[in-house]
Amino acid sequence: MAFKHGMLLDPSLFLVIISFLQALPADTTVLPYKRRYVENSVENCAFEIQSNTANCERLRLTNVPKELPEDVEILRISENSIKSLLNSSFERYPHVTYLDVSDNDIRVIEPITFYPLKELALLRMFLNPYLVLPTGLLRWATKLSYLDVSQSGLKSLPGDILRWSPTLDKVFLSNTELTSVNISLCGTVGSVFLSKNNIEQLTDGTFTFTCQTDELYLTRNPIRSVDPSVIESLQVRSLMLGGYTLTLDVVRNIFIGVSRSKIKNLAINYAASLEPLHYKPLLDFDPSELCGLSIPLVRLSSLAVICLVAIAVLLHHYRWQLRHRLCLLKFAALGYLEIRDTREHDEYEFDLNIIFYDDDEAWVREHLRLAIEEQLPQFQSNVFGDEDLVPGMHYLEAVDYVVRRSYKTVVLLSSAAVRDRWFMLKFRTAMDHVSDTQTEFVFVIFLEDIPDEELPFLARMYLSDGRPYLHWPEDIRGQLYFFDELTKNLTINLKTNDLIPDG
């Protein structure tokens, strides 16, 4: 029996508890770690025992956690609101090898912040818009192999940033606000990325880089001036430039400097360069690989010539149809000038000449005559049908006499009218007068719908030439519009224009 806090426990109970613990899965190693020290914390850091990893990302932290296990080796505190890294921030964690403080708001870093982190191998500090690095910050990080401070607001770099670690492999200093570089104290570095900054000059006063480096990337910088002696002083094996258009003077100075230096590979990438050549050394370029005879290009060229010949033949064959369409397009876009006949109705012997079939006399009496009297009171000398023709003349001569001496001739078409031979002769007489005078003296009114098979050729020709006409509607509102349009057409005479395509 056991006694604990005033309770008697059976020994068999301990055996049950031990058996339960042994039955837990072996990979159950991620445990929450309570952060009682952060004022605005709302979650718990996740701690993985096997890899000694503390994941405190996206927790709205404002300070580095102080009560994590001391043996933590991987510390992720990115995507928080940390504003400062103090000398005491990492005193508790001397075994950290991987530190990620990216995507915070770090504005202040005290000089010996990283003093406890002598095992630090990887440091990620990118996406800190107000980042400032003090001199000597990495003095104690002698095992550092990876450094990333890209996409930050860095305006300058401490001269010893690459000095202290002999094992630096990759250093990312891209996408910052750097306009100059002065790194004069450093050892050996694998690759240094200084791309996408604001470096405009590679001169003695603006660019100093003495590190022994395998690869130095200066692409996507708006370089305007280059001193050959600066290129000559670089202790790099491969130099990458380009991304911005370089002037001939800049390129010439680059080649002069490279020819005097120990640089083995030079790559200048242009946006217009071929994809296989991006960031490739110039001396490795083999023109025969990309500049040889292109079979697809030859085939496409031949096909293009054939297509051009075929298009030319089609254009020649359909040239009149195309001209017609282009003419219509021109008139639709620019319009055309209508020419009116300058003579007024009082200069003619008759104002109006109404030609209609005898069966349509009732419509004329009930509608047309009244409308003319009301809306065109100035038209006093009007001829309504055969009864008002000049007496004593031959019938067709009288019709022709009235047509030629009338300001306007109105022809009323109906199914019965188009079947009458004498009516169609009068219609033809009026149309001949239009052809002789090149003036739209004739206006046609359709009193009813006439089937296509009953419509005579003369009426079809009139419509195909785009001559003016109206159709008598049955509804009252339509009739009001009808008489308004009729009045407007009876008061003007337009000159015909054969240059305008028929409607």
Please report whether residue 19 resides in a domain.
no
CATH number at residue 384: 3.40.50.10140
CA 340/CA 495 separation, integer angstroms: 6
Q: Are residues 141 and 32 in the same domain?
A: yes
Q: How many domains does the chain have?
A: 4
- Ranges of residues in the chain whose predicted pLDDT is under 70: 1-43, 270-294, 331, 335-337, 497-503
CA 53/CA 147 separation, integer angstroms: 19
CA 61/CA 82 separation, integer angstroms: 6
Look up the domain containing 424 and give its range: 345-490
pLDDT at 29: 44
Closest CA to 143 of 95, 88, 91: 95
CA 440/CA 214 separation, integer angstroms: 91
pLDDT at 16: 39
What sign does the dihedral 83-85-88-90 (CA atoms) show?
A: positive
Please report whether residue 307 resides in a domain.
yes
Please report whether residue 226 resides in a domain.
yes
Closest CA to 171 of 153, 151, 194: 194
| SS3 of residue 33 by DSSP | strand
Q: Are residues 44 and 162 in the same domain?
A: yes
Please report whether residue 470 resides in a domain.
yes
pLDDT at 38: 38
Q: Are residues 36 and 173 in the same domain?
A: yes
Please report whether residue 499 resides in a domain.
no
Give me 70's structure tokens. Answer: 């001391």
CATH number at residue 54: 3.80.10.10
Q: Are residues 440 and 313 in the same domain?
A: no
pLDDT at 289: 60
Q: Are residues 126 and 213 in the same domain?
A: no
Q: Are residues 269 and 388 in the same domain?
A: no
Q: Are residues 155 and 223 in the same domain?
A: no
CA 224/CA 232 separation, integer angstroms: 18
Q: Are residues 313 and 445 in the same domain?
A: no
Please report whether residue 188 resides in a domain.
no
Q: Are residues 172 and 109 in the same domain?
A: yes
Q: Are residues 473 and 429 in the same domain?
A: yes
Give me 36's structure tokens. Answer: 């009682």
Please report whether residue 186 resides in a domain.
no
Q: Are residues 32 and 173 in the same domain?
A: yes
- Residue pLDDT, tens place only, 380-402: 899 998 888 888 889 889 999 99
The contacts of residue 446 (CB under 8 Å, 6+ apart) are 413, 414, 469, 470, 471, 472
CA 390/CA 154 separation, integer angstroms: 106
Q: Is 30 in contact with 47 (CB distance < 8 Å)?
A: yes
Q: Are residues 69 and 161 in the same domain?
A: yes
| SS3 of residue 11 by DSSP | helix
Please report whether residue 6 resides in a domain.
no
What sign does the dihedral 142-143-146-152 (CA atoms) show?
A: negative
